């Protein structure tokens, strides 16, 4: 689990002469609801985990709570405008030890925690590969998890048409209120994850690539800037490690990002369980200018 607050320079968020803003990025809570009993998420025997758990296990509720309490305490002081929450709320436990309804109950519990801790602050949330049941198997069409979670997040997503968009593939976009023309594209990149057996042979799972391009075209036409968020990042954790995305999906995704680098101000993902910054190069090997 990690949390961080990010300030963005004025020009990047709001364009020349804009007012600037701040947001939280919280991700990968991996709440283990069996903690202090069977501790099903622990990798090794942990004879006596501390009150906030152990490095080799996922998070007990106390750790999740204390993270969100910290965010609640600091939100006003820092002038935070919105939050992004990029998935993996369910623990690393076997499919035999959980169910879809248990995963949904965990997502509901953390959604309510954030709602209560951050009144009036919208949270732009995405699902992570561990939130699905079976694990990693993000569906390409309407499914129970999308419908139930769309209903849970509807006050943050606001527009009914985007809630319906989420219900059919797990992605949506929102124009951030009180920011000058800043749009969040909250993607479902679990559709491209190499552990997803449902999408290996699908060129554009759930039509998300086509939708993303349309959103970016519209943003360019209306002078919006776009922050792209999601759970699984396109790049590997470090150079030389295995790619998270299927190769064809990675190529298409990076092509879209580079084609719209004038519109996209930043991309933010979870899944890596560590902070990191990656620069995307174009096909000539040059870094993009943002």
Residues that bind Zn ion (CB under 5 A): 28, 88, 128-129, 271
Q: Which is nearer to Zn ion, 81 or 139 (CB)?
A: 139
Here the tokens at position 163 are: 């809630």
Shortest Cβ 42–Zn ion spacing (Å): 15
Q: Which is nearer to Zn ion, 72 or 237 (CB)?
A: 237
CB atoms within 10 A of CB 155: 12
Burial (Cβ within 10 Å: 0-12, 13-18, ≥19) of residue 127: buried
Where helices occur in the chain by DSSP H, the ranges are: 10-14, 61-78, 100-117, 144-152, 154-157, 160-167, 208-221, 247-259
Shortest Cβ 264–Zn ion spacing (Å): 22
Here the tokens at position 213 are: 């391009």
In contact, 1 and 59? CB cutoff 8 Å: yes
Q: Which is nearer to Zn ion, 14 or 129 (CB)?
A: 129
DSSP state letters, 94-121: -GGG--HHHHHHHHHHHHHHHHHHSTT-
Shortest Cβ 9–Zn ion spacing (Å): 29
Q: Which is nearer to Zn ion, 183 or 271 (CB)?
A: 271
d(CA 131, CA 88): 6
Of the candidates 210, 211, 205, which has an alpha carbon nearest to the alpha carbon of residue 193?
205
Shortest Cβ 242–Zn ion spacing (Å): 14
Shortest Cβ 175–Zn ion spacing (Å): 27
Q: Which is nearer to Zn ion, 18 or 128 (CB)?
A: 128
Cα dihedral across residues 56, 62, 68, 74: positive or negative: negative
Taking phi over 0 as left and psi of -120 to 50 as alpha, with beta for the rest, 98 belongs to beta
Q: Which is nearer to Zn ion, 81 or 88 (CB)?
A: 88
Q: Which is nearer to Zn ion, 56 or 217 (CB)?
A: 56
Q: Which is nearer to Zn ion, 28 or 167 (CB)?
A: 28
Shortest Cβ 30–Zn ion spacing (Å): 6
Shortest Cβ 193–Zn ion spacing (Å): 8
Shortest Cβ 128–Zn ion spacing (Å): 5
d(CA 119, CA 138): 30
d(CA 234, CA 254): 8
CB atoms within 10 A of CB 64: 25
In contact, 139 and 198? CB cutoff 8 Å: yes
Of the candidates 200, 191, 62, which has an alpha carbon nearest to the alpha carbon of residue 128?
191
Residue nearest Zn ion by beta-carbon distance: 88
């Amino acid at each position: 689990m990690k949390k961080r607050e990010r300030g963005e320079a004025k020009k990047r968020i709001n364009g020349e002469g804009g007012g600037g803003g701040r947001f939280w990025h919280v991700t990968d809570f991996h709440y283990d609801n069996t903690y202090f009993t069977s501790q099903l998420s622990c990798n090794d025997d942990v004879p006596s985990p501390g009150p906030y758990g152990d490095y080799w296990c996922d998070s007990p509720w106390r750790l999740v709570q204390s993270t969100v309490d910290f965010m609640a305490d600091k939100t006003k002081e820092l002038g935070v405008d919105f939050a992004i929450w990029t998935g993996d709320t369910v623990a690393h436990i076997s499919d035999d030890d959980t169910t879809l309804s248990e995963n949904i109950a965990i997502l509901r519990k953390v959604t309510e925690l954030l709602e209560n801790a951050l009144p009036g602050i919208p949270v732009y949330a995405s699902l992570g590969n561990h939130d699905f049941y079976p694990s990693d198997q993000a569906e390409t069409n309407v499914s129970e998890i999308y419908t139930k979670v769309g209903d849970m997040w509807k006050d943050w997503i606001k527009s009914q048409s985007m809630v319906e968009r989420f219900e059919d593939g797990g992605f949506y976009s929102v124009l951030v209120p009180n920011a000058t023309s800043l749009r969040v594209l909250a993607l479902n990149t679990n559709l491209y994850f190499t552990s997803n057996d449902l999408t290996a042979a699908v060129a554009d799972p759930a039509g998300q690539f086509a939708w993303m391009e349309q959103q970016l075209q519209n943003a360019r036409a209306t002078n919006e800037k776009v922050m792209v968020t999601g759970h699984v990042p396109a790049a590997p954790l470090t150079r030389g490690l295995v790619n998270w995305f299927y190769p064809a999906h990675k190529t298409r995704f990076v092509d879209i990002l580079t084609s719209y680098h004038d519109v996209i101000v930043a991309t933010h993902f979870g899944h890596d369980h560590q902070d990191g910054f990656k620069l995307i190069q174009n096909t000539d090997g040059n870094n993009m200018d943002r």
